[in-house]
Structure 1
Amino acid sequence: MTIVQNRNESRKGRLASRAGRPFIVAAALAGLLVWAPGAQAADAEVIDADARFPEGPVWHDGKLYYVEYGGHTVMSWDGQDSAVVWTLDGCGPAAVEPNGEGAFLVTCYDSNSLVKISSAGKTLQTYEKSESGIALIGPNDITPDGKGGFYVTTSGPWETAPIVGGVFHYGADGLIRQLADDLHYANGVALSPDGKTLYCSESYAGRIVQFTVQDDGSLADRREFVRLDRVMDDTTEEGLTPDGMEFDAEGNLYIGLYNRLGKILVVDAEGKFLRTLDVPSPYAPNLFFDPSGKFIYVTAVDDGDNAPYPGKVYKIGLD
């Protein structure tokens, strides 16, 4: 088995490999003692009931775009129906982001590449390394830098070691450079509303770190923003696992959780707990705000033990 195949198995087994751990066994016995959606779940509308490990939602040009890791596809939803935009076997996409040129960037976690595609679903260009030759190992999330470029996280394998997660920058000129390394499974990434601070979730460390964004787009002053088990009452034997993140109009940070809790965590600009939102599926790793600000779109997984990992995409009302 090649290195790439080993890495793919690590990704695909992220949920399944937990099945034998004490927490999951206890969850299976206790049922809703661990996952107990509340009133918020009643406001959830299912817009894709047959998604295959959906992730990375983003709103663009009147449509919701998202990926299916388990289906190797980029999808769109026009308010009525979902449709396949692009597919590539072996990609294992984790996020999609419009690039402002009528095209999109897709992180292919399984094939260790960043792919540029057209809005018509044509593969335009594939990147596997930075300009200095550093491999993109497990590309995961993307966020615009506000200047025509993008920050991209690379996670590395879903293992406790080695710690090889990083943050790369994809410039408007198409050049890729590494800005940060030594992150413990770098996952979700978000830029503060003022563009001065970049936030990155370290899934295996159970925390969010932040960086100061320099004038040239580089990153400095890495520090811890919030450790999830210090702000949430809910916990698991293996710790809380942050995934995707988005800021609301007030500057509060919404954090998707990759735990069997069916919740999204909301903290303020200082990292203080505000509330949680319930999701009618056990895993709620990614989210994006509707342009109206009245809803969030959540990509969620129902069955993490069996490929293609069925899940749903929700439109959930906000109070």
Structure 2
Amino acid sequence: MSELRTWLTGRGLVESPRWHDGRLYFSDWSAHEVIALDLDGEHEVVARVDSLPLCTAWRADGRMLLVDSARGLLLRLEPDGSLVTQAELSGLGRGWNDIAVDGRGNIYVDHIGFDMMVGEAPAPGYVVHVGPDGSAREVAGGMAFPNGMAVTPDDATLIVAESYGNRLTAFDIDADGGLSNRRVWAETGEDHPDGICIDAEGAVWYADVGNRRCVRVREGGEVLQTVEADRGCFACALGGPDGKTLFIVAAEWRLPEMVPPGTGQVLSTQVDVPGAGRP
């Protein structure tokens, strides 16, 4: 097992880790909080939204975007701490999941296609594009539980983890923000990829809840490295001063008991290749 550092423990369902401006941000979905963690170990709640899921990303101007899945809204955190609506998503469904923003301002939010929390049968999911004017449109459908998303450093490709498809799927990002040239980027075997991030060599790290690990793969599916944990890994992000710290949010999967104080932890390990792309 790789040497793991524990930063925080006793959290709930932890997700959506993001390295931004010298801090690690993550969401505790069961506490409905977005939390910022400093490298000295101090942490603070920076936003509260009564939503599960609750994922985040950043605009080019430094404002945080938050997916209010419960109300079907994309929110923006203002400098004064207020939350305002960036876009209405409710007309395209309820139950939104992850978010990614490219360097040109294209915003992508995915929808798994069904409500797993109430036991609905799986149904195809999709990805929507949100434009600068707040308009939202579906740009990719027929996906098997679309989950974590990441954009390559050249802003040319969006990679989506299809958890129920056991694969990472890639799309070209078109000039108008649409998605085209859908293709399998990597098959993940028995793994169900959840949150993902990209490194400077173009490889993808994905987290796997059921198999309790994070895995680094190259395009085509070759496994380059595996980091094992003692509980489900929900998502991972590369960050730290040199980009070589792999932060992992992990917890035991046992709904509905995943509320603080719970088994949610923020972990990390050192890797050789720094992060790149978005988030």
Could you say which TM-score interval applies, normalised by the shorter chain? Answer: 0.7 to 0.9
Question: Does the aligned pair in 2 maintain the 1:114–1:139 contact within 8 Å?
Answer: no
Change (3 A) 1:93 1:81: farther
**Alignment correspondent of 1:68:** 28
Structure of greater Rg: 1
Q: CA deviation at 1:150?
A: 1.7
Q: CA deviation at 1:303?
A: 4.8
Q: Deviations over 1:63-98 (max 9, x none)?
A: 211111111111111222111111123x12431112
Report the aligned-residue RMSD: 2.1
**Alignment correspondent of 1:302:** 252
Q: Deviations over 1:171-216 (max 9, x none)?
A: 2333322211121211111122332221111112222211122222
- State whether structure 2 residue 268 is matched by structure 1 residue 311: no
Aligned letter for 2:188?
A: L
**Alignment correspondent of 1:263:** 213
Question: Does the aligned pair in 2 maintain the 1:244–1:287 contact within 8 Å?
Answer: yes
Secondary structure in 2 aligned to 1:293? Answer: coil
**TM-score, reference length from structure 2:** 0.86
Out of 151-160 and 95-104, give the one that drifted further.
151-160
Question: How far apart are the structure 1 equivalents of 2:6 and 2:122?
Answer: 38
- State whether structure 2 residue 198 is matched by structure 1 residue 198: no
- State whether structure 2 residue 236 is matched by structure 1 residue 287: yes
Out of 302-311 and 199-208, give the one that drifted further.
302-311
**TM-score, reference length from structure 1:** 0.76
Question: How far apart are the structure 2 equivalents of 1:212 and 1:100?
Answer: 21
The size of the alignment, in residue pairs, is 264
**Alignment correspondent of 2:178:** 218
Secondary structure in 2 aligned to 1:251? Answer: coil
Aligned letter for 2:45?
A: V
The sequence identity of aligned pairs, in percent, is 29
Question: Does the aligned pair in 2 maintain the 1:99–1:148 contact within 8 Å?
Answer: yes
Question: How far apart are the structure 2 equivalents of 1:162 and 1:49?
Answer: 32
Question: Does the aligned pair in 2 maintain the 1:54–1:68 contact within 8 Å?
Answer: yes
Structure 1: 5+ residue stretches without partners: 1-37, 230-234
Q: CA deviation at 1:290?
A: 1.0
Aligned letter for 2:124?
A: V
Out of 119-128 and 243-252, give the one that drifted further.
119-128
Question: How far apart are the structure 1 equivalents of 2:92 and 2:69?
Answer: 16
